[in-house]
Amino acid sequence: AQSVTQLDSQVPVFEEAPVELRCNYSSSVSVYLFWYVQYPNQGLQLLLKYLSGSTLVESINGFEAEFNKSQTSFHLRKPSVHISDTAEYFCAVSDRGYSTLTFGKGTMLLVSP
């Protein structure tokens, strides 16, 4: 069985500050890893994913995440956040596509001016 732990339920930051949202997973097999974002009153949408290859993956809006196999982590980072990044972020894991996705409980990113 696989599981995901998002260590922070809420992360408040000021605009233009850096941020890191933490995600740890457990699985007995190799995994695919994902970050989804949910803006208020909307469904989730994919932010970025790790399938294989380079352990550092990036999104089009400046977020990046690094797959660390030894620490079983997939933390999400952004060097400078904007007000518009305020949303809930979900980390998710799949055992290489052979199972359904398991989601973490989410981290609410609150960006203030």
Partner 1 sequence: DAGITQSPRHKVTETGTPVTLRCHQTENHRYMYWYRQDPGHGLRLIHYSYGVKDTDKGEVSDGYSVSRSKTEDFLLTLESATSSQTSVYFCAISETRDRGTGELFFGEGSRLTVL
The residues binding partner 1 (CB under 8 A) are 6, 9, 32, 34, 36, 41-46, 49, 51, 90, 94, 96-101, 103-106
Taking only Cα atoms into account, the Rg of the chain, rounded to an integer number of angstroms, comes to 13
DSSP string for residues in 25-90: EE-SS--EEEEEEE-TTS-EEEEEEE-SS-SEEE-TTS-EEEEETTTTEEEEEESS--GGG-EEEE
Amino acid at 105: K
Which lies closer to partner 1 via its Cβ, residue 46 or residue 83?
Answer: 46
Which lies closer to partner 1 via its Cβ, residue 28 or residue 41?
Answer: 41
Residue 57 CB, nearest distance to partner 1 (Å)? 12
Which lies closer to partner 1 via its Cβ, residue 16 or residue 58?
Answer: 58
Residue 105 CB, nearest distance to partner 1 (Å)? 4
Residue 113 CB, nearest distance to partner 1 (Å)? 26
- Phi and psi at residue 84, in whole multiples of 5°? -70, -10
